[in-house]
Amino acid sequence: MMEEERIEAMARAARTLREKVNQLKFAEPVTHTYNPLEYAWDGHYQYLQKAAGTPKKVLFLGMNPGPWGMVQTGVPFGEIPHVRDWIGIDPVIQKPNPEHPKRLVEGFACGRSEVSGKRLWGFFAKTFGTADRFFADHFVGNYCPLVFMEETGRNRTPDKLSRSEREPLLEHCDEHLREIVRILSPEWVVGVGGFALAQAERALTEGPKVALGRVLHPSPASPHANRDWPGTAEKQLREQGIW
């Protein structure tokens, strides 16, 4: 598969996932659902153009978009300075409809920092120097594209949805993961955190065979991540033979 063909295959896979999950309905306590593959498509497509043109050794897999990262930029773990200044994209981001009054989408004008993304992309920037060098054989994706919010603005993670809501969503996400593994041909799928690894273990019992690994999630909610997350992540990657 040539570079442009691979990018367009990844874009088709993302659009297919977008359309399928947009048909799902979620009940209270979820009051708002954001799909960055819709209103932030320009950001996501520019990311694919930068990141998805080559076969990969490692696919890093997150859970779902963060409120100050992919929600604002369309890029997984997409902390704004790293997306703009290191990856090198600066797209126009639209608004979700309806928009939660406590979780506004301001795109690249957002002044909040996605700490998980700052740690993740900062680690890759320090290790590889340039984004092109990193993307030569690495890719970062999310398992689920949707963000779920309660009336208070509180985030509700996919694992907290009711079973009747969760299972159709996970089925579509499983299909998408298998498709991007087929397109990118990674040797490893590395869950960023336990949820992502568990979903990869389930989804990838079918389809292309790939080794599975895990790194600690860089969330500031994790006490372990607040104690030298880059050092911990590098140690885990080397111990598993991924790096």
Total-model pTM: 0.97
Instruction: Tell me: pLDDT of 208 over 80.
Output: no
Q: pLDDT band at 138, cuts 50/70/90?
A: very high
What is the 8-class DSSP label of residue 59? E
- Rounded Cα–Cα distance for residues 147 and 155 (Å): 8
Instruction: Tell me: pLDDT of 226 over 80.
Output: yes
Q: What is the largest CA-CA distance in the chain?
A: 46
**Parallel, antiparallel or unpaired: strands 188-192 and 211-215:** parallel
What's 182's domain CATH number? 3.40.470.10
Looking at the 3D structure of the chain, how many domains does it have?
1
7-12 mean pLDDT: 98
What is the 8-class DSSP label of residue 154? -
Q: What is the span of the domain harbouring residue 165?
A: 3-239
Q: What is the model's pLDDT at position 119?
A: 98
Q: What are phi and psi of 191, to 5 degrees?
A: -70, 125
| Mean pLDDT, all residues of the chain | 97
